[in-house]
Structure 1
């Protein structure tokens, strides 16, 4: 019987990596009229009107008169700079504690200046690894289900993993809850606003060592997300009511701005150990 050779990819999502055709990767495809009519985005920013390229200066007037805006014409460059500054300010409400709180600021600035280039950082890789290892959903934790599948399907008499049982590993991951950042703490630590859900995942076993009644597997996760908004995002009233998302959507999708969304790449390597007589959890 043949053995499975390593490194070996055991799982990939239906969503593929580097999918620039995804809906949230659209850019500069909407007019001012469409944004106002179809997405109710007449009021975007507190500081500027992106459609008339004017800056709003609030006028102090007597109590018996209505308050008013003094509109000052500005350049498109100045307008987008103000919008990005405002976007960073609003993002702080979703990212104010922990080691990952600066991720969203860095990613907004990346969108502003890097013209759609992929984004990666050691902080994101650390956050991914921590999420995998601390996953509390024990019945659907990807690494725990993989541990069980390895324990059950290793040929313990001959010290290898049978090639015919490769599908058992894929099946185990398919039943799991893949890494994402939708926990309560992610609403405030910067991971929910910067990544939240993920688009594509690839999981590989880099090596498997079996000695006696124990094994040690080195497993690599590659995860990709899109830093961009699709129509459905902004049509959800919960998001549309938040200025951060209105500004983000206009910067990305308005034909006169067209700041490119980008791929967010994360990687993590973990070690899974177990023994022949491991108890079921």
Structure 2
């Protein structure tokens, strides 16, 4: 958690020459971030990029930044086509623009995490593996979980699949772009109540991701082909802009219940 030394948390550390060496020459369809020359609408530029127009006008650095962020938000639409989480990507872009690296929280992220955990019924679900460990190992006579079986709970997490938003539907509902993979996950058993015939456990999931790009991301042709990522990388890493990436925090508490088997 809170790893500010991660490679995708760097900002303002690359020059124009270094960015162009990463093949970031055609960044925006609206403005050239290096010359601050505005590019008129030509009718042929797309998210993939086709080069600069011969006609252009000079803008200030702040005007250039505003144009880039507006374009950044506009291009985000193709990654968040529908659903209750589709608004998040625009909010996070605006957060990057105005909040100087402050962490981001939103109730929608907590809800997305909760739904992901509850809907994961795969054999690698940490929720189901933890429940299985309780079912098998609880000492009903003593109404306690044995100390020598703690490793069963640890293994349920180590060998389970942590909640990540890399499913097919996440490519279109906005979660694949706002979170996708995750950086750190803490899973804590907050309480375990055992009576004669049943138990109830509360398990807290705390997940953190980084809203930032590193060199590996932009070197990937699947990312670099989109203006969305080229603009994002330049806004974050160009030493004339240096907008700070930030931590995205989400958490939820899941209830696990079970009954004593006859």
**What TM-score do you get using the length of structure 2 for normalisation?**
0.94
* Residues 95 and 190 in structure 1, CA contact (< 8 A), matched pair in contact too: yes
Aligned counterpart, 1:206: 190
CA offset digits 1:78-133 (Å, max 9, x no partner)? 10110000000000101021110000010000000000000001000000000000
SS class of match (2:201): strand
Asked if 1:132 corresponds to 2:117, the answer is yes
Equivalent position to 1:115, from 83, 86, 100: 100
Q: 1:174 aligns with which of 147, 158, 162?
A: 158
| Residues 1:256 and 2:240 are matched in the alignment | yes
Whole-Å separation in 2 of the counterparts to 1:163 and 1:26: 43
Aligned equivalent of 1:47: 30
Per-residue deviation, residues 35-94 of structure 1 (Å, max 9, x unmatched)? 001x1000000000001111011469xxxxxx9431111111110110000000000101
The answer to whether the aligner puts 1:20 opposite 2:4 as a matched pair is yes
Please give the alpha-carbon distance, in whole angstroms, between the structure 1 residues aligned to 2:259 and 2:159: 22
**Quick one: distance in 1 between partners of 2:109 and 2:87?**
11
1: CA distance between counterparts of 2:79 and 2:25? 24
Q: Is 1:57 the counterpart of 2:40 in the alignment?
A: yes
2:221 aligned with 1:237: yes
| Residues in 1 aligned to 2:15 and 2:56: alpha-carbon distance in whole angstroms | 22
Query: Which blocks of at least 5 consecutive residues in structure 1 are unaligned?
Result: 1-16, 61-66
> Which segment is superposed worse, 253-262 or 145-154?
145-154
1:167-212 deviation per Cα after TM superposition (whole angstroms, max 9, x unaligned): 2101111111100101111011110000000000001111111112
* DSSP 3-state at the match of 2:127: helix
State the distance in 1 between where 2:72 and 2:112 align.
23
Q: In 2 relative to 1, CA 59–168 (structure 1 residues): closer, same or farther, beyond 3 Å?
A: closer
- Distance in 2 separating the partners of 1:243 and 1:90: 8
Q: CA deviation at 1:213?
A: 2.6
Distance 1:59 1:171, change over 3 A: closer
RMSD over aligned Cα atoms: 1.4
Count of residue correspondences: 254
Distance in structure 1 (CA, Å) of the matches to 2:42 and 2:154: 63
